[in-house]
Structure 1
Amino acid sequence: MDFDFSLLQELTETSGVPGYEDRIRDIVRRELEASTDHVTSDAMGNVVGTIEGESDYTVAIAAHMDEIGFMVRHITDEGFLQLDPLGGFDARVLRAQRVNVHTEDGDLPGVIGSVPPHTLSEEQREKKDKVEDVHVDLGLSGDDVRERVSRGDIVTMDQTTVELGDHVTGKALDDRICVFTMLEAARRIENPDVTIQFAATVQEEVGIRGATALGGDLDPDLAVALDVTVANDVPGFDEADHVTELGDGTAIKLKDSSVITNPKVHRRLRSVAEDEEIPYQLEILPAGGTDTAGFQNTHGAKPVGAISIPTRYLHTVTESAHVDDVSATIDLLTAFLETETGEHDYTL
């Protein structure tokens, strides 16, 4: 692969749920300080690295730092933890997973319990899984757990990021793989015609909160958001429901449930991809929102576009993306920014 896989591993394996992005924010700040002119952050924790251009025309590039996770809502007398979700985890994939509980005194390893299927009653077998019903087992007594864990402590999934054939797979590719893409583009760009604001946002998974606030604060002339998108190109789905397919290139978003991208912006993205011979596909996402919506109208009407990385098994610990699609996304974002002069008319 023609990108820094070790940085991608660091970004995806580091914990950071909505509102508690501290650890991932430190990494992003470190990388942006090395590749941009100056770095700022706000009261919510959004981080912005700015490369000053030849003009005052500003382009905001956004990718969210937060991953889905949990908060401890209750500790039983026996020392089991019950959870409140931070983002949209599918409870079906939580059983028998390893987790980390982030306490004030350090991290504790735990497992989400799953009892043997042959011991379940018929009623238990038919019961629909809910996040509120799972429990975390820390292997400690109730007294020890209550001494070390507090209500409100954060819980994240424990997983490594690895190469899998032509894919990379792990947790939190949503959306750290796009944070990585943004950082790679920031490394490559020199002396742009326009001022570029590389924004790592917070709390996207709980309602696009960070980008909405940042859109008002930055007030850019143009915004392009980066996120993963659905790739249901696996057994059990009709071709029309794939949304995107791994290995077919970066995805240029036309719509999702939160935004319809500006036609002039997505047409220019397509034109740049074709001029640079960068493989791409068009994304029409029937459900799910992204930071794109956060910038579209929070400080007046703004032209917005979005580039997505096709990803299988979203919101699990085995999210998977094709290395060629990652490279294509970096290439398209970089080429788009290097050719942005501030003179394109995106009004409709």
Structure 2
Amino acid sequence: MGAEGSKHEKKLYFSDEENQLLLQTLSKIDNNGEKVSTSSLQYTETVIEFFEKGVTQKTCWKTSSDTVKTQIAFALLHDLFYPNEAIKKIWGKGPPHPPVLISLEAFERWWLGHCIFSKLEMEMFKHLFKFSPAGETSLLPEATQLPKVSPTMLSAAQVMFLNGALPVNLQSKWRFLFSTSKHGWSFSIFMKQIVSKGPTIFVVEDQSGGKFGGFASVSWEVRPQFHGTPDCFLFSLQPQAGIFHTTGYNNNFMYLNYLEKNTMPNGFGMGGREELFGLWLDYDFGKGLVAPTCTTFASPQLSQHQELEISSIEVWALGPEEEDSDEEEGTRKKKSALDKNPDARAMLDMMGKVAVSDGYREEDNDD
């Protein structure tokens, strides 16, 4: 598309005709044709609906409710409705009322900075007109290592929204690691499933139906100190969708601890500090906390309740799986008594202790 100057001699990426067409799909242009009124989310919701119709039958991700489609549509349009406003500052607000007027130049900046929206439109057109463009890239990751009954509590639109915020090299594959519906409510099993598995994304649902969580950019480690990198983020999906990136204020990204003889708390957290974590899951599994605000991630209070009663948890590993050298060599370890007690085994593994009974394993009768 060629660049043409407006009557104010500002260079635009789209031609006047292209800009008019794009603007009309989203909003209503005023009389002089220079500005657009952000009066409705309907078009964006429709795009998401057609996107899901084209993908949900081919994947494990479920279809969104109308409420979820509205939440994701509003999150995608945030920078258009509230340019240069931090998400935290306008958290809890809906689209501007009365509708604001936005210049063509501002609209163009938003459009070019949100390639996910143009990809969504392409998915809609593919579904409507049954074609597959050359070099297409999927907005959804491939889901692998799923149990027989799909564990996911995420819709396709929610996965698309989260996946678009991840580093590009982690967007192609999600590997199921843990869910309370499959693994139960054991903190030690939870740790064993997520430690040393590479980058992960976890989702929590609380007692009021809120959904939120975080992206951990490196493997989880059990130790009484924070770790991680500035690529980590917290997010909310319900009752409002938003991504909360690091602020640079501190390096308190990831925390996982379950050691008896130390003064630091036992549990799982991201952001903030002791007693004021942005998101905290207690070692007494099923309980947690969220802080009213989080300096690490510039996030608001993620749940309606500061004290959480957790309904479900789900964790996915991102990117390719690390190879298991034992499996590659075709070797199999014999069973010990600890194999019959996964909680005890998990705790020893997390604490770096050697299992003495490994030297006294039972004969393997599986053969």
Q: Same fold judged by TM-score > 0.5?
A: no
TM-score using structure 2 length: 0.28
TM-score using structure 1 length: 0.29
- Larger gyration radius, structure 1 or structure 2: 2
